Structure formats: structure tokens, C-alpha cells
Amino acid sequence: MSRIVRTPEIVGGQARIDSTRIRVADVIRLKKVGWKDIDIAKVLLITLEDIKAAEEYYKDHKDEVDRLIEFEDILWEKGFIRKFLKMCECSDLNEVEDKIKKGELLEHPTWEEYIKALSCKDSLERKGFSYKKVEKIIKCSNCNLFKKIGEVCEDVTKLIPDVIDTDERCPECGSKMRVWII
Ligand SMILES: [Zn+2]
């Protein structure tokens, strides 16, 4: 019996290790940044066999897992920059830079956070997204295929994605597509 299961009511139906809420994507994300199996097992409270099973699943479902990781990166990067701007009381990163130059931001941000925000901005732009705009994405709930379908507004304070069901079907697997406002 496979250690990897997918059930719609747990972790949004994403592939996960049986009897846990740990997703294949969680394991693969750590593998991609060079974590050792033993450390992954310790941190995620899973076994080495679970990790092997996740890797096997990944081999056969590379697109599904890679797309999910990319999509979650986009959500995370947008969220990070927006929280950072809120903390600095700025509406964009240029304003943060100006404030730093004028010595108005001595406590926050730390340089590390500012540099992380800049690298998130670059990463988003490489993927065709903008940190400043609230954007509309359509995403398959099964194979995680997604595409940006438009910009909604310029609102850097919006943090939580709105998810709306649609009647559209995924061009790749035929599953239901959902709209995300991010
Ligand atoms: Zn699909």
C-alpha cells in the first residue's frame, strides 16, 4: 500500500504522507534547498521511508509538485513584501529606500529584511508577477496548473487570498479550476 495519499478534505487534497498532514511538496521543498534526509525527518516528524516515498511520488508527478511549490512561493513572496511595507509604513520599496537614506528607518527594517524583500520582488518579476498589484490567478485544484489572468487593483495592503470556485475545467486534467485573488 502506498504511503502517499490524496484526500480532498485534508491539506486541500494535495499529495501527503499517509496519517500525517505533511505534504510531498513540504519534503521536496526542503530537498531542493539541500536539506539532508535525517534533518527533514526530524523537523517534519516523519520517517526516512516516508521521505523515500515522497521522492518516488515526485518522480512520477514532477509538474504537480513543482507547480504547487512555485505557486506557494508567489503567495509567500507577495505576503512577505506586503507585511514588510506595512511595518515600514511605505507604499513601495523605493519609498523604503528613500526613508533609509534619510535615516528615518533606524530600527526597522533590518538590512536583512530589506534585502530579502528586494529578492522577493525580483523573484516575483521573473515569474511575471508584481508585488504592488493584487492579481488574479486561475489554478487547478488537482494538478496545480496555474496562470495569471489579470491584475485586479493596486493595493499593497491586501494580504489574504480570496479563493473563488469556477465552472472552468483544467485544460490539462479536466479538474475544477479555482480563482485566487492574491
Ligand atoms: Zn489540472
Q: How far is the CA of 173 from the centre of ligand 1 (A)?
A: 4
What confidence score (pLDDT) does residue 155 get? 67
Instruction: Tell me the HSE value of 145 on the side-chain side, using a 13 A CA sphere.
Output: 13
Average pLDDT over residues 59-70: 97
Q: How far is the CA of 10 from the centre of ligand 1 (A)?
A: 18
Structural domains in the chain? 4-60 (1.10.10.10), 64-181 (no CATH)
What confidence score (pLDDT) does residue 157 get? 57
What single-letter amino acid sits at 110?
A: T
Q: How confident is the model at residue 40 (pLDDT cuts 50, 70, 90)?
A: very high
Q: How far is the CA of 140 from the centre of ligand 1 (A)?
A: 5
Q: How far is the CA of 85 from the centre of ligand 1 (A)?
A: 34
Q: How far is the CA of 152 from the centre of ligand 1 (A)?
A: 24
Q: How far is the CA of 71 from the centre of ligand 1 (A)?
A: 14
Q: How far is the CA of 167 from the centre of ligand 1 (A)?
A: 13
Q: How far is the CA of 66 from the centre of ligand 1 (A)?
A: 13
Q: pLDDT tens digit string along 143-172?
A: 999 999 888 877 655 555 667 777 889 999
Q: How confident is the model at residue 2 (pLDDT cuts 50, 70, 90)?
A: confident
What confidence score (pLDDT) does residue 150 get? 84
Q: How far is the CA of 162 from the centre of ligand 1 (A)?
A: 20
What confidence score (pLDDT) does residue 64 get? 97
What confidence score (pLDDT) does residue 44 get? 97
- Answer with the residue of higher pLDDT: 181 or 14: 14
Q: pLDDT tens digit string along 88-132?
A: 999 999 999 999 888 887 776 788 899 999 999 999 999 999 998
Partners of 179 in the β-ladder: 138, 164
Q: How far is the CA of 108 from the centre of ligand 1 (A)?
A: 42
- Spatial distance between the Cα atoms of 64 and 91, rounded to a whole number of angstroms: 35
Chain centroid to Cα 104, Å, comes to 32
Q: How far is the CA of 38 from the centre of ligand 1 (A)?
A: 33
Q: Is 179 exposed, middle or buried (0-12, 13-18, 19+ CB in 10 A)?
A: middle
- Residue with grid cell 525580483, as numbered in its chain: 122
Three-class secondary structure of residue 64 per DSSP: helix
What confidence score (pLDDT) does residue 156 get? 58
How far the first Cα of the chain sits from its last, in Å, is: 38
Partners of 139 in the β-ladder: 146, 178
60-66 long-range Cβ contacts below 8 angstroms, 24+ apart: 61/15, 61/24, 63/143, 63/144, 63/145, 64/15, 64/142, 64/143, 64/144, 65/15, 65/24, 65/25, 65/28, 65/144
Average pLDDT over residues 38-64: 97
